Amino acid sequence: MTGSHRIVSSLVLGVTVLAGSATRSALAQAQAADPELQQAKAAFEEAQTLYTKDQYAEAAEKFLVAFDKKSFPSFLFNAAVAFEKAKQLQKAVDTFQRYISVDPQARDAVDVKARVDSLKVALAPAPATGKAAPDVAPVLPAIVTKGLVIIESKPAGANVYLDDTAHGLFATTPWQGSLEPRPVKLIFEAKGFKRETREINPRSDKILELYISMSEEHFLGWIEVVANVPGADVFIDRQEVGALGRTPYTGHLKPGKHTLWVQRAGYEGARKEIEVEPGTATTHTINLEVIAYGTLKAGKSTEGGKLFVDGAQVCALPCDQQLKPGDHALQVQKEDMENYNGKLTINRADVTTMDLAYSPKPGRAKAWTEAAFSAGFFVGGIVLGVKGNQIKDQINSDVKDPSKLLNSSDNRKSTGKLYYIGADVCFGLGLVTAALATWGFLESGPPSAATFKTTNIAGPAPSKLGFAPMDVPNGAGLAATGRF
């Protein structure tokens, strides 16, 4: 029994060694089949050695030799950097421009173009002032050479993801380019093959060659999820664990029934039940519809108010309120503040942010004071009028009584007139102050004002007609999907 165990262990170890040897052998064969790559690699390493010794002009020429052997854009970039370090600015400009022409889609194309513009300014003739042209180096951002990562796989055309498939597709093999000098996890997926992962540590002064030989997968099924909206999140079986990727999404699944969700902001989420069979490849096309409402988001500046839409109170501010597409009448009310009244047009998937500048209502203290004075004047007028009437009644009574004689020394008549005059003045002042108080109570300040910012989170309307790859016997084809 022990002997059998040793034989099995030896066989397993032998297979493992052979598998590793096969991968290394495939890489060695690929290298041997491309001697120009090895010559380019040797020139690159020699250039980097010269660069570290501050022999920048010589390093630049070696980088160009490497490019002549293998036209990787990174070699041109490094040559331009070395020319700039050597103060050969015209050569640096020419080489940077050559780099952009070879790789116009480079991720640093914008930065490189800006650098070229700065170098051209430094190369411009100095003004006729007798002063020397300033050195350009201190005003330019620091720049370093790039390393190179070369990735090949068997089979070719494998999807490559950086760190996590949820970040989206990074590249397909074969691929060459530069990566940031930090640890990176590469994830490889190909239809009908097992997923592979590799940890690499790119460097800015080295060429890293990576060859992945993927094993065929007969147990799992392969799915492709495409949607009329690119970049939608794809969830499989459990939404709480997060999206597994974005459309177009590809990957392996265990055989059996699965639940598929596709979601993107601004669209109604879609759910689909699928069944995966081992060793098969299927494409699932999902059509997402734009949500049937817009959203009004009231910011913190609206706090304390009440929102009315089309005459009905809908929420206390701040709040997020879904609205049907169309025109709406808005009103915001807040105690001691002037109302805001306005109109808003909402489209499907619009997100409109509302900010308010409340306008305080005028104070009523002055109006109350004027009302109090008005009441006092009216009371005073009534009192004076009553006293005037009393004197008038006394005089009329005395006139009718023969026993009482009136003489010129009786001043009651003049006193009564003064009472009447005082009453009229008080009533007049009472009317004036009453009018002022009424105006004060009815007076309003400028209305509250609102500002709106609208974005449509659904983006451009999806195409009515789309195409997705599909498998057919002994070949491949396209499946057309659309909405009419």
Tokens of 299: 């910011």
| Predicted local confidence at residue 32, as pLDDT | 52
**Residue burial 44-57, b: 16+ Cβ < 10 Å; e: rest:** bebbbebbeeebbe
| Predicted local confidence at residue 404, as pLDDT | 66
DSSP state of 347: -
| Predicted local confidence at residue 341, as pLDDT | 92
Of all residues in the chain, what percent are helix, strand and coil, respectively (each to 5)? 40, 30, 30
| Predicted local confidence at residue 14, as pLDDT | 35
| Predicted local confidence at residue 139, as pLDDT | 60
- Rg of the chain on CA atoms, in Å: 44
| Predicted local confidence at residue 297, as pLDDT | 93
| Predicted local confidence at residue 377, as pLDDT | 81
Phi-psi region of 336 (alpha: psi -120 to 50; beta: other; left: phi over 0): left
286 — phi, psi (to 5°)? Answer: -115, 130
Condensed to tens digits (0 to 9), the pLDDT of residues 307-344 reads 999 999 999 999 999 999 999 999 999 988 889 999 99
Stated length of the chain = 484
For 77, counting Cβ atoms within 10 Å of its Cβ (0-12 exposed, 13-18 middle, 19+ buried), the class is: buried
- 3 state DSSP class of 346: strand
Tokens of 434: 């009453």
- Angstrom distance (rounded) from CA 182 to CA 162: 12
| Predicted local confidence at residue 209, as pLDDT | 85
For 73, counting Cβ atoms within 10 Å of its Cβ (0-12 exposed, 13-18 middle, 19+ buried), the class is: buried
Per-residue HEC secondary structure of 295-317 comes to EEEECHHHCCCEEEECCEEEEEC
User: pTM for this structure?
Assistant: 0.47
| Predicted local confidence at residue 261, as pLDDT | 94
For 395, counting Cβ atoms within 10 Å of its Cβ (0-12 exposed, 13-18 middle, 19+ buried), the class is: middle
| Predicted local confidence at residue 132, as pLDDT | 54
Tokens of 481: 């999907």
Mean pLDDT by 10 residues, the chain (484 residues): 35 34 47 75 89 92 91 90 92 92 88 90 72 53 84 90 87 87 89 86 84 81 90 91 89 90 93 89 92 91 92 92 94 89 93 91 75 86 84 75 66 78 85 80 77 85 42 41 40
- Angstrom distance (rounded) from CA 165 to CA 249: 9
Q: From 222, 224, 234, select the one nearest 277 (Cα to Cα).
A: 222
Condensed to tens digits (0 to 9), the pLDDT of residues 32-86 reads 557 888 888 888 989 889 998 999 999 999 999 999 988 899 899 999 999 999 9
- 3 state DSSP class of 107: coil
| Predicted local confidence at residue 146, as pLDDT | 83
- Angstrom distance (rounded) from CA 313 to CA 325: 18
Phi-psi region of 466 (alpha: psi -120 to 50; beta: other; left: phi over 0): beta
